């Protein structure tokens, strides 16, 4: 018998050993990969806004109908049923859709805490019941809109009233608005004076809402701050923004086109990182501005609201 040279025997032995080792490694690796796949949980699917995505501004232009079903005088949102209000909202939103404009996100702003002349429990405010809020939330969802809950706190404060709405604010498509016009001092009566709020109180609401968004992995939320006079937000230069909150300074107040433009310029001046909003009144405005006129404002409003 002919024996292979020693170096060849050694090479053959090495090849066999390498093949065995590789086979073992492949099997172990495959087993480990399979085990890892079995142990890795599926990626968490985060909630999104109507139409997709998790950020509202600056990606969209938000077109809003405002009001309450308690009285048609409180705004266009209160006309008809919630479903009828949704259809009407889409008509207005369509007026702002154009190839050269941002995508439109429709929204309903429902007065969830209504200021009242009657003191009630001493706070001069009335909280809307669950059935009303859920009815409008359902209607908003049926037309691909978000719901914004508006607070007119009377002698209460914004953070207390916001926390009372937490159940709804945990929803991915519900945002918040605060109205300093109706933030009364301890001895003030709604309708007798124009209300006001300190920036510190607004910042507390912003921080609380931001924490809610972070802890529950929610999409961004609007925080709409209504204003038409300088004194309505004391120390406004101290207002802060927080992650997850798209904060908006919304120029409120009715009048002629010139008056409204002047108010808008004053409210948006020195706004810092805040987005801009512009409110129109179907009945109280003298000569309702057209969508084209609104879009000619500078800066162009991120939020356009109708009462």
55-64 pLDDT, tens digit per residue, is: 999 999 999 9
pLDDT for residue 149? 99
Q: Is residue 27 pLDDT above 60, yes or no?
A: no
Q: Of 267, 107, 83, 127, whose CA–CA distance to 176 is shortest?
A: 107
| pLDDT tens digits, one per residue of 264-275 | 999 999 999 999
297: how many CB neighbours lie within 10 A of its CB? 18
| pLDDT tens digits, one per residue of 143-194 | 999 999 999 999 999 999 999 999 999 999 999 999 999 999 999 999 999 9
Q: Of 275, 278, 273, whose CA–CA distance to 291 is shortest?
A: 278
Q: Is residue 16 pLDDT above 90, yes or no?
A: no
The C-alpha atoms of residue 192 and residue 201 are separated, in whole angstroms, by: 22
pLDDT for residue 41? 63
- DSSP classification of residue 92: H
> Locate tokens 């159940």: which residue?
167
Q: Of 252, 191, 194, whose CA–CA distance to 227 is shortest?
A: 252
pLDDT for residue 39? 62
Q: Is residue 2 pLDDT above 50, yes or no?
A: no
Q: Is the pLDDT higher at 42 or at 210?
A: 210
Percent of all residues in the chain with a pLDDT value above 90, rounded to a whole number: 85
Q: Distance of CA 103 to CAs 54, 249, 268, 306, Å?
A: 14, 20, 22, 18
Q: Among 22-26, 93-97, 209-213, 220-224, which is the least confidently predicted range?
A: 22-26
Strands 61-67 and 303-306: parallel
Taking the alpha carbons at both ends of the chain, their separation in whole angstroms is 105
pLDDT for residue 14? 36
> Locate tokens 């049923």: which residue?
81
The region that residue 144 occupies, defined by phi over 0 for left and psi between -120 and 50 for alpha, beta otherwise, is: left
Q: Is residue 252 pLDDT above 90, yes or no?
A: yes
pLDDT for residue 13? 34
pLDDT for residue 44? 83
Encoded tokens for 235: 């120390």
Cis amide leading into 299 (omega within 30)? yes
Asked if residues 246 and 206 have their Cβ atoms less than 8 Å apart, the reply is no
Q: Is residue 40 pLDDT above 90, yes or no?
A: no
Mean pLDDT computed over 225-241: 97
Residue 100's pLDDT band, with cuts at 50, 70 and 90, is: confident
Helix (H) or strand (E) holding 65: strand 61-67
pLDDT for residue 3? 41
Mean pLDDT computed over 276-304: 98
> Locate tokens 């599926």: which residue?
42
Q: Of 302, 173, 174, whose CA–CA distance to 249 is shortest?
A: 302
Mean pLDDT computed over 103-111: 99
> Locate tokens 């109280």: which residue?
284
125: how many CB neighbours lie within 10 A of its CB? 23
- Average pLDDT taken over every residue of the chain: 90
> Locate tokens 């009945």: which residue?
283
12: how many CB neighbours lie within 10 A of its CB? 11
Q: Is residue 1 pLDDT above 70, yes or no?
A: no
Mean pLDDT computed over 192-212: 98
């Amino acid at each position: 018998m002919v024996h292979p040279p020693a170096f060849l025997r050694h090479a053959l032995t090495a090849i066999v050993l390498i093949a065995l080792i590789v086979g073992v490694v492949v099997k172990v690796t495959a087993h480990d990969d399979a085990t890892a796949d079995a142990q890795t949980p599926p990626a968490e699917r985060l909630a999104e806004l109507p139409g997709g995505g998790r950020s509202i501004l600056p990606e969209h232009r938000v077109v809003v109908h405002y009001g309450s079903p308690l009285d048609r005088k409180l705004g266009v949102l209160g006309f008809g049923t919630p479903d009828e209000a949704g259809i009407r909202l889409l008509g207005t939103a369509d007026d702002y859709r154009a190839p050269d404009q941002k995508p439109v996100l429709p929204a309903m702003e429902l007065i969830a805490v209504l200021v009242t002349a009657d003191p009630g429990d001493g706070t001069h405010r009335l909280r809307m019941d669950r059935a009303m809020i859920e009815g409008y939330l359902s209607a908003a969802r049926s037309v691909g809109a978000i719901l914004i809950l508006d607070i007119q706190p009377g002698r209460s404060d914004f953070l207390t009233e916001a926390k009372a709405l937490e159940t709804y604010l945990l929803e991915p498509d519900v945002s918040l608005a605060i109205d300093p016009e109706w933030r009364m001092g301890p001895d003030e009566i709604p309708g007798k004076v124009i209300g006001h709020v300190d920036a510190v109180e607004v910042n507390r609401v912003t921080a609380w809402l931001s924490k809610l968004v972070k802890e529950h992995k929610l999409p961004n939320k609007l925080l709409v701050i209504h204003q038409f006079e300088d004194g309505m937000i004391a120390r406004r230069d101290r207002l802060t923004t927080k992650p997850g909150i798209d904060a908006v300074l919304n120029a409120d107040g009715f009048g002629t086109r010139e008056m409204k433009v002047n108010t808008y310029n004053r409210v948006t001046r020195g706004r810092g990182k805040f987005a801009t909003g512009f409110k129109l009144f179907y009945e109280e405005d003298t000569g309702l501005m057209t969508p084209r006129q609104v879009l000619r404002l500078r800066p162009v409003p991120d939020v356009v609201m109708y009462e």
